[in-house]
Amino acid sequence: MKDWTREELGEILRSSKKIAVIGLSDNPTRTSYMVSAAMQQAGYKIIPINPTINTSLGEKAFDHLDDLNDQVDIVNIFRRPEFLQDLLPGILSLKYKPIIWTQLGVVDENFYNELVKNGFQVIMDRCIKVEHSMTKRK
């Protein structure tokens, strides 16, 4: 897996505006909600992807990534590693290549390799909120 530098992550975050969050909860006590709320407050458009909710953070939720009409810059994934393979068809069916970002502890080498083989940039096992706060300081 690529070892991203803080500078590279900072450039990705500075150039990105829209983040689709797979597994975003509507429960304010969940990590996905807290991290996404912080990113929303930092100015990013957050698009929830979760078939079990209607809205989160004031935004309409979509059942699946490929239900979106708009392109996003980053797909941030809050799902356990054993569910990553299930996300591949939806990601690979996209007509564009957003950055695929998995949160801390979310690692699957096969998922990573399949996405990279298909031309995606993949950031794995990093917290987007932590990286945003670290790159903001520079």
Rounded to whole angstroms, the Cα distance separating 127 from 30 reads: 14
Single pTM value for the model:
0.95
Listed by start position, the domains of the chain span 6-136
Nearest to 96 by CA among 2, 37, 31, 20: 20
30 pLDDT exceeds 60? Answer: yes
Nearest to 65 by CA among 41, 97, 35, 37: 97
CATH code of the region 6-136: 3.40.50.720
Q: Express each pLDDT in 63-117 by its tens digit.
A: 999 899 889 999 999 999 999 999 999 999 999 999 999 999 999 999 999 999 9
For residue 105 the two structure tokens come to 């502890």
11 pLDDT exceeds 50? Answer: yes
Rounded to whole angstroms, the Cα distance separating 33 from 67 reads: 21
